[in-house]
Structure 1
Amino acid sequence: MTDAAAPPLLDVRDLRVTLATAHGPVAAVRDVSFTLARGETLGLIGESGSGKSITALALMGLLPERAGVQGRILLDGQDLAALDDAAMCRVRGARIGMVFQEPMTALNPLHTIGHQIAEPLRLHKGLGMAAARAEALRLMERVQLPQAARRLDAYPHQLSGGQRQRVVIAIALACGPQVLIADEPTTALDATIQREVLSLIAGLVAEDGMGLLLISHDLGVMAASVQRLMVMYGGTVVEQGPAEALFLHRAHPYTRGLFEARPRLGLRNGAERRTLRLPALPGRVPELHLLPPGCPFNDRCAWAIDDCRQALPPRLSVAPGHDARCIRLHEVNA
Structure 2
Amino acid sequence: MAGPLLQVRGLRVSLPSARGPVDAVRGIDLDLARGRTLGLIGESGCGKSMTALALMGLLPDAARASGSIRFDGQELVGLDDAAMCRLRGRRIAMVFQEPMTALDPLQPLWRTVSQPLRIHRGLDARSARAEALRLLDRVQLPQAAQRLDARPHQLSGGQRQRVMIAAALACGPELLIADEPTTALDATLQREILALIGTLVTDSGMALLLISHDLDLMARSVERVMVMYGGTVVEEGPGAQVLAAPAHPYTRGLVGARPRLGATRGARLATIPGRVPALGDWPAGCPFADRCGWVVDACRAGMPAPVGVGADRAARCIRLTSAHTPDSR
Offset from partner CA, 1:136-174 (integer Å, 9 cap, x none):
111111111111111111111111111110000001001
Of 263, 287, 303, the match for 1:312: 303
1:12 corresponds to: 8
Residue equivalent to 2:275: 284
Determine the structure 1 residue equivalent to 2:71.
75
Deviation at 1:274, TM superposition (A): 4.2
2:147 is matched with 151
Question: AA paired with 1:289?
Answer: G
Distance in 2 (alpha carbons) for counterparts of 1:96 and 1:240: 23
Aligned to 2:220: 224
Q: How does 1:1-334 map to 2 (within 5 A)?
A: 5-267=1-263, 274-330=265-321, 333=325
* Letter of the structure 2 residue corresponding to residue 328 of structure 1: R
Q: TM-score, normalised by structure 1?
A: 0.94
Q: 1:189 deviation in Å?
A: 1.1
Q: CA RMSD in A?
A: 1.3
SS of the residue 1:57 aligns to: helix
- 1:44 CA displacement: 0.5
Q: Distance in 1 between matches of 2:83 and 2:265?
A: 59
Distance 2:158 2:240 in 1: 29
TM-score with structure 2 setting the length: 0.96
CA distance in 1, matches of 2:184, 2:41: 17
**Structure 1 segments unaligned to the other structure (5+ residues):** 268-272
- Name the CA distance, whole Å, in 1 between partners of 2:92 and 2:115: 15
Query: What CA deviation, in whole Å up to 9, does each residue of 1:14-65 have, x standing for no partner?
Result: 1111011233211000110010111101111000100000000000001111
For each residue in 1:152-202, what CA deviation from the matched residue of structure 2 results, as whole angstroms up to 9, or x when unmatched? 111111111111100000010011111000000111211211111111111
Q: Deviations over 1:203-255 (max 9, x none)?
A: 12211110000000001100110000110000000000011221232110100
Matched residue type, 1:28: A
Percent identity between matched residues is 65
Write the letter of the residue equivalent to 1:303: W
Distance in 2 (CA, whole Å) between partners of 1:277 and 1:147 is: 44
Which whole-Å deviations, capped at 9, do the CAs of 1:249-285 have from their partners, x for residues lacking one? 2110100011011111344xxxxx5443222101000
- Contact 2:309–2:324 (CA<8 Å) still a contact in 1? no
Per-residue CA deviation, residues 110-132 of structure 1 (Å, 9 max, x unaligned), is 11000111111011111111111
Rounded to whole Å, the distance in 1 between the matches of 2:265 and 2:12 is 46
Across the two proteins, how many residue pairs are aligned to each other? 325
1:320–1:266 CA distance, 2 compared to 1 (3 A):
closer
Mapped partners of 1:332, 1:144: distance in 2: 44
Q: Which runs of 4+ in 1 moved over 6 A?
A: none
Deviation at 1:332, TM superposition (A): 5.3
